[in-house]
Chains A and B, each alone.
Chain A
Amino acid sequence: MSRLAGVAAVALVALAVGFVLAGQVRAQLLTPSNQVARYQALVRSVQELEAANADERGQIADLRAQIDALESDAAARSATTQALKNQVSDLRAHAGLVAMHGPGVEVFLRNGVPGRDSSSGSGYQVNFQDVQDLVNLLFAQGAEAVAVGGRRITPLSAFSGSGGQIVIDQGPPLASPVKVDAIGDRNRMLAALDDPSSLPGVRARQVQFSLHLTFTGLPDISVPASDSSLQVPHVTAS
């Protein structure tokens, strides 16, 4: 009798364990596969939107080139139009709508090493504020044209993003390593980048997370024209 009772107890325990484990297996199978599917759907959306974004920017660059050619044709027929065209060309250059080259600096910002404790968060990553501070520093030192990751900075440029993603204007997100090119007085910009009191946020994280900031002066660097929107529908000259 006692043997039978023992067998029954083991069977019951095994059955209960089996049910619990089966439930667990089902739950575990369901959650991660849903998470993966949802994540993959989001990634697909981002990829499609980025492809559309690149296409739109390409078309904008083409349209600007066509408009420039048409303006040049018109300018060739009239001195007045030529004078206007010259003014517009200069204003476009200042607005970042013309590709430029000249001496300058090439700066790289790279992610550091994650901290061991969870409280250190994303401090090891290059973020949009680091890039914003760097661009502001370069302009303060007389930079005449700046590009971040091949995206030209314009008078209306804005920096945003979350975590290690850096979004500039209507472009796709950039991430480490971030390359910043600036045309201007090399010596002045290099001296500012060398100054330990500049870019305090980046310097602190260089120590804490081994964030990388490297720079070099070059005799001739190129920055592209902006391919972003420069609409100002709410502003009128007063």
Chain B
Amino acid sequence: MSRRPRTRRPPVRGVRGLSVWLIALLVALVATVQIRSQAEVERSLVGVDTTSLAFLIDDLHSANESLASQKTDLTNLRATLQSGQAGAADQALTDEAQRLRAIDGLIPVQGPGVVMELDARGLTALDLQDALNNFMAARAEAIDVNDHRVVTGVAVEQDGGNVTVGGAVVSPPWTISVIGDPVKLAEVADLMTQQLLADRRVRAAGYRTVNDIVISSVIREKPFVYAIPS
């Protein structure tokens, strides 16, 4: 009985097999790493991109500085009231009343800022509202549009083809006078002017920085009918 001849695998097949396994292993490794990394990124992103986060950080820095400054003012006011000096409370209350009247838009005011001129056809209440909000976001302290005082809460509405501010029609050209930090306001006015000039509806747009703007328009105080202090 002859022995069955032993079949020897050719060495090249063994090397090939090993290569295939190595490649498969590497591919699996890469795929695993890739999938795990991707999952980690997605878990932490929660829908907010890094650019938005960077803007948010900038906004929060600025907000916190503003809050800290307000806190200093209030601390000083508290110290004045705590001093108990004759007339200190009356003076503090008189100053506070005047400051609040300016904020509420109840008295004429003046100060540095920018005046923006805008002539356009077909601009809507939403366009004006956006422009006013842009100035508000740049910490505007008093705003007037064509001799109509604007604060947040004064309605800017579309009435057919007209735009109304506090119920009064304001026809173009619009002159928007804004009191506040002239540097911040000028930055916003500059950006808006560039955008407006690219708008086909706009015939002319520009702004100028003014050292002393006088806003004479005022808002008539409305008594509360429904709201009661808690």
User: Known contacts being A45-B57, A171-B63, is A28 close to B30, with CB within 8 Å?
Assistant: yes
List residues of B (201-225) whose CB comes within 8 Å of A's CBs. 214-216, 221-222, 224-225
A234 touching B111 by the CB < 8 A rule?
A: yes
User: Known contacts being A102-B228, A235-B179, is A155 close to B103, with CB within 8 Å?
Assistant: yes
A184 within 8 A of B: yes
CB distance from B209 to the nearest CB of A (A): 12
Sampled A-B contacts (17; CB under 8 Å): A7-B11, A7-B15, A11-B15, A21-B30, A39-B45, A56-B71, A70-B89, A81-B90, A98-B229, A154-B152, A156-B136, A158-B139, A170-B67, A222-B230, A229-B67, A235-B179, A238-B216
**Most chain A CB atoms below 10 A, which of B27, B60, B99, B136:** B60
Which residue on chain A has the smallest CB distance to residue B107?
A237
Further 12 A-B residue pairs, CB within 8 A, beyond A10-B15, A67-B74, A100-B224? A50-B60, A74-B89, A81-B90, A132-B133, A140-B157, A155-B151, A157-B136, A158-B133, A184-B225, A235-B102, A237-B110, A238-B216
A30-43: CB near B (< 8 Å → 1, else 0) gives 00110110111011
B44 touching A99 by the CB < 8 A rule?
A: no
A67 touching B81 by the CB < 8 A rule?
A: yes
The complex places the Cα of A45 from the Cα of B55 at a distance, in Å, of: 12
A91 touching B100 by the CB < 8 A rule?
A: yes
List residues of B (1-53) whose CB comes within 8 Å of A's CBs. 10-12, 15-16, 19, 22-23, 26-27, 29-30, 33-34, 37-38, 40-41, 44-45, 47-53
The complex places the Cα of A94 from the Cα of B60 at a distance, in Å, of: 26
Q: Choose among A78, A81, A136, A229 the residue that contacts B70 (Cβ–Cβ < 8 A).
A: A229
A120 within 8 A of B: no
A102 touching B227 by the CB < 8 A rule?
A: yes
B230 touching A100 by the CB < 8 A rule?
A: yes
Which residue on chain B has the smallest CB distance to residue A13?
B19
- Chain A interface size band reads 35 or more
B151 touching A156 by the CB < 8 A rule?
A: yes
Contacts of A25 in B (CB 8 A): 26, 29-30, 33
List residues of B (99-145) whose CB comes within 8 Å of A's CBs. 99-113, 126, 129-130, 133, 136-137, 139-142
A148-164: CB near B (< 8 Å → 1, else 0) gives 00000111111110111
Q: Choose among B34, B52, B221 the residue that contacts A28 (Cβ–Cβ < 8 A).
A: B34
A184 touching B226 by the CB < 8 A rule?
A: yes
Which residue on chain A has the smallest CB distance to residue B214?
A238
The complex places the Cα of A6 from the Cα of B14 at a distance, in Å, of: 12
A69-98: CB near B (< 8 Å → 1, else 0) gives 011001100101100110111011111001
How many residues on the B side are at the interface (Cβ–Cβ under 8 A)?
104
Which residue on chain B has the smallest CB distance to residue A173?
B56
Contacts of B179 in A (CB 8 A): 234-235
A28 touching B50 by the CB < 8 A rule?
A: no
A170 touching B63 by the CB < 8 A rule?
A: yes
User: Known contacts being A14-B19, A21-B30, A229-B66, is A238 close to B101, with CB within 8 Å?
Assistant: no
B96 within 8 A of A: yes
CB distance from B170 to the nearest CB of A (A): 15
B103 touching A232 by the CB < 8 A rule?
A: yes
User: Known contacts being A60-B71, A71-B81, A237-B107, is A81 close to B152, with CB within 8 Å?
Assistant: no
Q: Choose among B38, B61, B70, B93 the residue that contacts A60 (Cβ–Cβ < 8 A).
A: B70
B89 touching A71 by the CB < 8 A rule?
A: yes
A234 touching B112 by the CB < 8 A rule?
A: yes
